[in-house]
A and B are shown apart, each in its own frame.
Chain A
Amino acid sequence: MNGKTGKRNSLLAAAWILIVLTLAVAGAPEGRAWAGTLNYRLKWIYNASVIGDLYASGKGYFRAAGLEVKVRPGGPERDALRELELGYADFGVASADQVIRAVAKGAPLVVVAQLFQVNPLQWLYRTGKGMIRKLDDLKGRTIGITYGKNDEIIMRTLLAKAGIGRGQVEFYSVRLDYTPFLRGKVDLWPVYANTQAVFLRDKLSRAGEETALFVPGDFGVRFVANSVVTSEKLFKRNPELVKRFVGALLAGWKAALDVKHQKEALAILRQVDRDTPLRILKTQLEITRRLVMPRSGPPLGTIDFEGWRQTERIMLEQGQIKAPVKILSCLKPML
């Protein structure tokens, strides 16, 4: 390669870099003016956990509040919080640990409502080996955890609380399929009480096996689940719009979980989840109702400040964040 060709190649490479950079910046989203359709990114795919969101959209609650809202499903590869900062979404659903982790890295977020008052993340187990009435009963069991996810943090907190050491329980790394649990290789399996637990319990009950749920909240660990989040920018620039959105959303949730509207709610669920039998959907809806609107609990949408404080403390203790993030300052209830 002679000097001239080398120079030409370097120029060509520099031109390419410039083109790529220009395209990247040009393709990035600009700040939204919040006119037109609002994007609402859910935490998970459409199922009973998002019935209120679907109901608010399908039954015109957003439209009645003068809003055009596009409800988009979430999933493992989607991150509502990232989309909020990038401007792809205006509102999103995330669990407290996700929010705290994002705030710890400087994400400007505001939590405006809390959907689940009781965390649906629990552990399913067969009662054959005895009921788990105290944390000590976990000793000697094989516990499924998803390394890196919030169930790992919760379980480690519970074990630390009970002074249960490494050798006293065995961990099993949980993946997509339930085979290890169904085959009895794992004693406790992390599930969402209102979705996976329902069909797994149904399956096992038909096989003559009795099951129960291990609920971390019963042992004093309140780890906050699905909450509605928006960007600090939108919250500051247009609080009225945020208020209208939260009002319409919570009205939708309230109606969806009202026994009077069960038929309509089930019909909406059926449209997005054709494979789950109706009786399972009905049970899922009933359990969701108890988690979102517990009988003696606070009003729908209430932000559990103590729960958030505890979640932050647990994450700090477990080394998930390096320093306190003062999460309470990000909680702005819009009820």
Chain B
Amino acid sequence: MLPRRIYQFFLIYLLGILVLLSLKYGLQLSDYVIPGPKTLWQTALEVFPRYALDVWNTLQVALIGQVMSIVLALAIGIPGRSTTWFGNFIKAAAYNVQAYPIVAIAPIIFILLGDGFLSRLLIAAMICYFPILLTVLGVMSEPVADVEHFYRCTGRMRWQLEVKIRAFENLHKLTTVIAGSATLAMAGTIVAEFIAANAGIGYSIRIALYQSDLARILVALLLIGICLSVYQGLLEHTGSLVKKAWTGSA
């Protein structure tokens, strides 16, 4: 699964580069607009080690941010599944926070948390948590009628059991959205680094953008893509292991 994912990413990346190069040579554009293969290669040699460390730095934050967002989505989604006033209040608050553009909230985050690791983490988690929250809310609001009816009739139903039943019945949905949200965690961290940090690949891309250096950006995209493919592949693998452990089948 993992090698296939990486191979597919390389195919997409190469296709993208091919399109850019066709444009470059078709329209006779300079290296400033689209870098040529030689410039790309030289830039890659120059920045690869530094950018690899930057991507690793970003991935670490994304990973913690994703775990945070899963915890956050569960913490909001489980009480939010009920149709009580409190459940609705939590949902309204969660939806509203998501509606605000992150750049508008960023100054408040800087004031509260400074401009280092914590700000990056929080912004990454904020961007990543919403799709997980929606899935959790969807899954948790949908009763598994037969099973739940049995426990209700026997008087053994508690909220923890209700959550477990609904999670078990929708395990595939939950693991899929968690694996998919890795992309958002990475994107969220990169956005945070763009506006808040002094480290990570988002910060390096920002500098490259200031200098209109497309070659550096393309190298950064390659590394982000490889990193994300590996990360997602591992998440999917972990998801299938969890399913196997819970259900006894892959």
Enumerate chain A interface residues (CB-CB to B < 8 A): 13, 17, 20-21, 24-25, 28-29, 76, 79, 81-82, 85-86, 98, 101-102, 105-108, 146-149, 173, 175-177, 179-180, 320
List residues of B (77-118) whose CB comes within 8 Å of A's CBs.
103, 106-107, 110-111, 115
Contact of A148 among B11, B15, B107, B206 (CB under 8 A): B206
Contact in complex: B107, A101 (CB < 8 Å)? no
Contact of A17 among B15, B195, B210 (CB under 8 A): B15
Complex Cα distance, B32 from A76, in Å, reads 17
Complex Cα distance, B110 from A21, in Å, reads 44
Interface string of B115-131 (1 = CB under 8 A from A): 10000000000000000
Complex Cα distance, B195 from A178, in Å, reads 13
Contact in complex: B30, A106 (CB < 8 Å)? yes
Interface pairs (5), CB distance under 8 Å: A21-B22, A24-B23, A28-B23, A102-B32, A107-B33
Cβ of B208 under 8 Å from chain A: yes
Q: Given the known A-B contacts A28-B23, A175-B196, are A146 and B31 also in contact in the complex, defined by CB atoms under 8 Å?
A: no
Q: Given the known A-B contacts A86-B29, A105-B30, A176-B106, are A148 and B207 also in contact in the complex, defined by CB atoms under 8 Å?
A: yes
Contact in complex: A148, B208 (CB < 8 Å)? yes
Contact of A25 among B15, B22, B111, B195 (CB under 8 A): B22
For residue B26, which residue of chain A has the nearest CB? A25
Contact in complex: B26, A28 (CB < 8 Å)? yes
**Least CB distance, A43 to chain B, in whole angstroms:** 13
For residue B213, which residue of chain A has the nearest CB? A101
Contact in complex: B212, A179 (CB < 8 Å)? no
Complex Cα distance, B11 from A28, in Å, reads 23
Q: Which residues of B contact A86 (CB under 8 A)?
A: 27, 29, 33
Cβ of B57 under 8 Å from chain A: no
Q: Which residues of B contact A147 (CB under 8 A)?
A: 207, 210
Q: Which residues of B contact A28 (CB under 8 A)?
A: 23, 26-27
Complex Cα distance, B30 from A85, in Å, reads 8
Contact of A176 among B15, B111, B195, B208 (CB under 8 A): B195
Q: Which residues of A contact B245 (CB under 8 A)?
A: none
Cβ of B247 under 8 Å from chain A: no
Q: 9 smallest A-B Cβ distances: which pairs?
A: A148-B207, A105-B32, A106-B30, A148-B210, A107-B32, A105-B31, A177-B107, A102-B32, A107-B30
Q: Which residues of B contact A105 (CB under 8 A)?
A: 30-32, 35, 39
Complex Cα distance, B232 from A235, in Å, reads 51
Cβ of B18 under 8 Å from chain A: yes
Contact in complex: A20, B212 (CB < 8 Å)? no
Interface string of B201-239 (1 = CB under 8 A from A): 000001111111000000000000000000000000000
Contact in complex: A79, B15 (CB < 8 Å)? no
For residue B208, which residue of chain A has the nearest CB? A148
**Least CB distance, A46 to chain B, in whole angstroms:** 19
Contact in complex: B26, A102 (CB < 8 Å)? no
Contact of B29 among A85, A149, A176, A180 (CB under 8 A): A85
Contact in complex: A175, B115 (CB < 8 Å)? yes
List residues of B (3-34) whose CB comes within 8 Å of A's CBs.
11, 15, 18-19, 22-23, 26-27, 29-33
Complex Cα distance, B115 from A179, in Å, reads 11
**Least CB distance, A155 to chain B, in whole angstroms:** 15
**Least CB distance, B91 to chain A, in whole angstroms:** 30
List residues of B (158-189) whose CB comes within 8 Å of A's CBs.
none
Complex Cα distance, B71 from A248, in Å, reads 61
Contact of B212 among A24, A79, A180 (CB under 8 A): A79
Q: Which residues of A contact B32 (CB under 8 A)?
A: 81-82, 85, 101-102, 105-107
Q: Which residues of A contact B110 (CB under 8 A)?
A: 177, 179
Contact in complex: A173, B198 (CB < 8 Å)? yes
Complex Cα distance, B39 from A106, in Å, reads 12
**Least CB distance, B192 to chain A, in whole angstroms:** 11
Contact of A106 among B19, B22, B31, B103 (CB under 8 A): B31
Contact in complex: A81, B212 (CB < 8 Å)? yes
Complex Cα distance, B211 from A107, in Å, reads 14
Complex Cα distance, B103 from A180, in Å, reads 16
**Least CB distance, B64 to chain A, in whole angstroms:** 22
Q: Which residues of A contact B207 (CB under 8 A)?
A: 147-148
Complex Cα distance, B196 from A176, in Å, reads 9
Q: Which residues of B contact A102 (CB under 8 A)?
A: 30, 32, 212
Complex Cα distance, B19 from A108, in Å, reads 22
For residue A178, which residue of chain B has the nearest CB? B107
**Least CB distance, A90 to chain B, in whole angstroms:** 16
Known: A82-B32, A85-B30, A146-B210. 9 other contacts (CB 8 A): A28-B23, A81-B32, A105-B39, A108-B30, A147-B210, A175-B115, A176-B106, A176-B107, A180-B115
**Least CB distance, B227 to chain A, in whole angstroms:** 22
Q: Which residues of A contact B22 (CB under 8 A)?
A: 21, 24-25
For residue A30, which residue of chain B has the nearest CB? B27
Contact in complex: B107, A25 (CB < 8 Å)? no
Complex Cα distance, B210 from A148, in Å, reads 6
